[in-house]
């Protein structure tokens, strides 16, 4: 028997799971179920990535220890998956003891093979990415290409992985194995990266003096492992490497990620595996971003979609279908509730739901809700059987090649063709004519084809497919999977037992009636809520004369940026002033004095992000220099800081 192992990235524990996380994990679930349909023994892994600077900062911002923080957020991820119909086999956490053991064994092996060395290195460190950049990797302005912030130049002694040694071999492997990274555009991107010569050895340690929340290096207790080197190893720690039997059974696996983490998966990870003498993964499947109102989801834009809430409102299977149908794997796609409703009404209620509803009610009327026996097949019937076989072959091919949207599109050709077949054969007319043989054949053809549709849909819409099968007189999920052989199913136009009892009616997907105004309100979402809040505020704030009209140039001359408060204390000479040290991603924090002591205790500000004007000339206030001005809102009676929803330090306020 063949085995199949699929993984999602393990999610960075700093937020609640969003639509992007949901998509990757649902795709992995679909693939796992598809391979189970093929009769393969599958293992599906997901989990959370819990070490590194960002966790420490986020935990501090929450007044929690890193461990308490990761326990809480990791549970939030784990609890979401059943809501999305996701049935993973293992949930790995990088703070698991087994993971720590595997990482240390892996490091030791690579070290013993001479692929880790100690050296002094000066590099451009981006705190957002938690990694060093080489000069060539920075953008033309010398900024981190991901965060567009100025990295800090750090020179320290560290351990390095001889990644450069494996790059020529990796390029050759990718050239020789066209489906190793797919779709092709990402394969080309990685080959270009390898050809550019910008990649060097990888710094894989952090001194404990700077970061202690990590896995200790087995060969130097003063250092912890770089978070990416640690996190990637989850794919084998979850299988118990080096001694767990699951490793021998399921590795190598197929990885699913979005384009943001292409490089660590396509370059670091294969080089690490090669150095440790382990087989490479089979495929790296890379998808694009879900965009909401044309932008990548981010808290600061207020366009983050909560997948749990969408499932509760529209149904889990409808949501899964939409995600798989709407995104062409590899390219970006847009999410909106309007588009979701359109798909539910057109594809699920009209095409699929209608087919089931009309055929089952005809079977109730004309053959007592029992599967009829077929008689002589005519050309039209044979065309349906042929279309079924073609669609199932397409479906298998496209799903194996992660082209889910195309697979579903092809399946819907069949669903639409079946509706047309109903219209053309007009069973009601056959009944009127008393042509029972032909009527039985037509209904049998329809019910057989509907069963094939249900079979294909099981990976994408498991609960609905199960209902469909039960309505067709078939047994439930587990029993069903035991006897189904997908390849045989594609070849043979049969599968129903004459006489088996059918459901009397079916209402799989009721149409969603959305009144125009309500839809407007839904799609405006946060915008509407913002307006309501504004209306309340407008009522409270007394009208003040507006300031004189100003030039945009005056505004854009100000350098307003976001930074995290690292320390806060009272000004020794001025009661009303707090002395803050704020990290704006510039390397050294700035000292800024702010007259907000009446409204904030210093400890309330530590870990919070604030906005400040940075390009005023430094000013001395009672003996201390202030290198900027923190922005606040309010009046003489109360001033509150302007804060933002976690963006990288140094981000400009525009």
Q: Catalog residues that contact ligand ME8 under the rule CB under 6 A.
A: 9-12, 20-21, 23-24, 49, 231-232, 234, 257-258, 260-261, 289-290, 296-297
CB of 149 to ligand ME8, least distance (A): 17
- Identify the sign of the CA torsion 634, 638, 641, 643: negative
Is 147 labeled as catalytic in the residue annotation?
yes
State the Cα–Cα distance between residues 180 and 229, nearest whole angstrom: 21
CB of 273 to ligand ME8, least distance (A): 13
Cα-based angle 348, 349, 353 (whole degrees, multiple of 5): 85
Which residue is listed with tokens 């030039």? Answer: 551
Pick 247 or 289: Cβ nearer ligand ME8: 289
CB of 546 to ligand ME8, least distance (A): 38
Pick 234 or 448: Cβ nearer ligand ME8: 234
CB within 8 A of 608, min separation 6: which ones?
61, 564, 565, 641, 643
Residue 405, token pair as written in the block:
């949207």
Helices vs strands, H then E, count in the chain: 26, 26
CB of 128 to ligand ME8, least distance (A): 11
Largest CA distance in the chain: 103
Catalytic residue among 21, 99, 287, 452: 21
Catalytic residue among 129, 367, 456, 611: 129
Is 225 labeled as catalytic in the residue annotation?
no
Is 126 labeled as catalytic in the residue annotation?
yes
Pick 264 or 628: Cβ nearer ligand ME8: 264
CB of 48 to ligand ME8, least distance (A): 8
Count of CB atoms situated within 10 Å of the CB of 648:
18
Is 144 labeled as catalytic in the residue annotation?
yes
Catalytic residue among 165, 173, 208, 296: 296
CB of 373 to ligand ME8, least distance (A): 49
Is 21 labeled as catalytic in the residue annotation?
yes
Strands 3-7 and 254-258: parallel
CB of 578 to ligand ME8, least distance (A): 33
Pick 205 or 237: Cβ nearer ligand ME8: 237
Catalytic residue among 51, 88, 147, 255: 147
Residue 620, token pair as written in the block:
């001395």
Pick 92 or 605: Cβ nearer ligand ME8: 92
Pick 20 or 66: Cβ nearer ligand ME8: 20
238 phi, psi to nearest 5 deg: -65, -20
Core vs surface per residue 417-429: b (16+ CB within 10 A) or e: bbbebbeebebee
* C-alpha closest to that of 447 among 372, 508, 389: 372
Which residue is listed with tokens 């077949």? Answer: 421
Residue 251, token pair as written in the block:
């590795």
Say if residues 234 and 225 touch (Cβ distance below 8 Å).
no
State the Cα–Cα distance between residues 467 and 472, nearest whole angstrom: 9
CB of 328 to ligand ME8, least distance (A): 13
State the Cα–Cα distance between residues 42 and 36, nearest whole angstrom: 6
* C-alpha closest to that of 274 among 172, 372, 130, 150: 172
Pick 10 or 465: Cβ nearer ligand ME8: 10
State the residue number with the nearest CB to ligand ME8: 20
CB within 8 A of 378, min separation 6: which ones?
441
State the Cα–Cα distance between residues 395 and 407, nearest whole angstrom: 5
Pick 12 or 486: Cβ nearer ligand ME8: 12
Residues catalogued as catalytic: 18, 21, 126, 129, 144, 147, 296, 299
């Amino acid at each position: 028997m063949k085995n199949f192992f699929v993984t999602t990235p393990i999610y960075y524990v700093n937020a609640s799971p969003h639509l992007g996380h949901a998509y990757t994990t649902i795709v992995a679930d679909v693939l796992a179920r598809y391979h189970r349909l093929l009769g393969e023994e599958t293992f599906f892994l997901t989990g959370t990535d819990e070490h590194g600077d960002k966790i420490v900062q986020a935990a501090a911002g929450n007044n929690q220890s890193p461990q308490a923080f990761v326990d809480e957020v990791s549970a939030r991820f784990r609890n979401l998956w059943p809501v999305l119909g996701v049935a993973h086999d293992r949930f790995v956490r990088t703070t698991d003891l087994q993971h720590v053991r595997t990482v240390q064994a892996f490091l030791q092996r690579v070290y013993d093979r001479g692929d880790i060395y100690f050296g002094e290195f000066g590099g451009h460190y981006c705190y957002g990415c938690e990694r060093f950049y080489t000069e060539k990797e920075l953008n033309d302005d010398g900024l981190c290409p991901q965060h567009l912030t100025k990295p800090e130049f750090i020179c320290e002694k560290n351990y390095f992985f001889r990644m450069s040694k494996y790059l020529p071999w990796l390029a050759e492997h990718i050239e020789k194995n066209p489906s190793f990274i797919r779709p092709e555009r990402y394969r080309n991107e990685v080959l270009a990266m390898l050809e550019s010569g910008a990649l060097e050895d990888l710094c894989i340690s952090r001194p404990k003096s700077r970061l202690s929340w990590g896995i200790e290096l087995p060969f130097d207790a003063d250092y912890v492992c770089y978070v990416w080197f640690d996190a990637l190893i989850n794919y084998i720690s979850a299988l118990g490497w080096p001694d767990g039997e699951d490793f021998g059974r399921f590795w190598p696996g197929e990885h699913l990620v979005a384009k943001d983490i292409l490089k660590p998966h396509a370059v670091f990870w294969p080089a690490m595996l090669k150095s440790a003498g382990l087989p490479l993964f089979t495929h790296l499947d890379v998808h694009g971003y879900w965009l909401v109102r044309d932008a990548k989801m981010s808290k600061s834009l207020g366009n983050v979609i909560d997948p749990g809430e969408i499932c509760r409102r529209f149904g889990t299977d409808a949501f899964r279908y939409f995600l798989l149908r709407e995104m062409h794997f590899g390219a970006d796609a847009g999410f909106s509730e309007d588009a979701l409703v359109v798909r539910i009404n057109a594809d699920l209620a009209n095409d699929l739901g209608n087919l089931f509803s009309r055929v089952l009610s005809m079977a109730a009327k004309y053959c007592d809700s029992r599967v009829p026996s077929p008689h002589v097949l005519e050309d039209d019937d044979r065309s349906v059987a042929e279309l079924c076989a073609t669609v199932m072959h397409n479906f298998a091919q496209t799903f194996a090649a992660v082209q889910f949207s195309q697979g579903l599109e092809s399946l819907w050709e069949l669903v639409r063709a079946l509706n047309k077949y109903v219209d053309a054969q007009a069973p009601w007319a056959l009944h009127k004519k008393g042509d029972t043989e032909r009527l039985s054949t037509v209904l049998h053809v329809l019910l057989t084809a509907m069963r094939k549709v249900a079979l294909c849909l099981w990976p994408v819409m498991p609960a609905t497919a199960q209902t469909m099968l039960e309505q067709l007189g078939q047994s439930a999920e587990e029993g069903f999977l035991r006897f189904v052989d997908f390849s045989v199913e594609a070849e043979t136009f049969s599968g129903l037992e004459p006489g088996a009892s059918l459901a009397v009616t079916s209402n799989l997907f009721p149409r969603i009636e959305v009144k125009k105004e309500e839809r407007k309100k839904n799609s405006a979402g946060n915008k509407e809520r913002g307006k309501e809040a504004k209306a309340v505020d407008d009522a409270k704030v007394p009208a003040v004369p507006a300031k004189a009209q100003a030039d945009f140039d005056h505004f854009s001359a100000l350098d307003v940026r976001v930074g995290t408060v690292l320390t806060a204390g009272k000004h020794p000479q001025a009661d009303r002033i707090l002395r803050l040290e704020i990290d704006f991603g510039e390397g050294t924090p700035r000292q800024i004095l702010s007259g907000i002591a009446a409204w904030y205790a210093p400890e309330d500000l530590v870990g919070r992000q604030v906005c400040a004007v940075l390009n005023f000339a430094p000013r001395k206030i009672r003996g201390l220099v202030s290198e900027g001005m923190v922005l606040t809102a309010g009046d003489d009676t109360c001033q509150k800081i302007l804060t933002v929803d976690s963006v990288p330090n140094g981000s400009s306020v525009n």
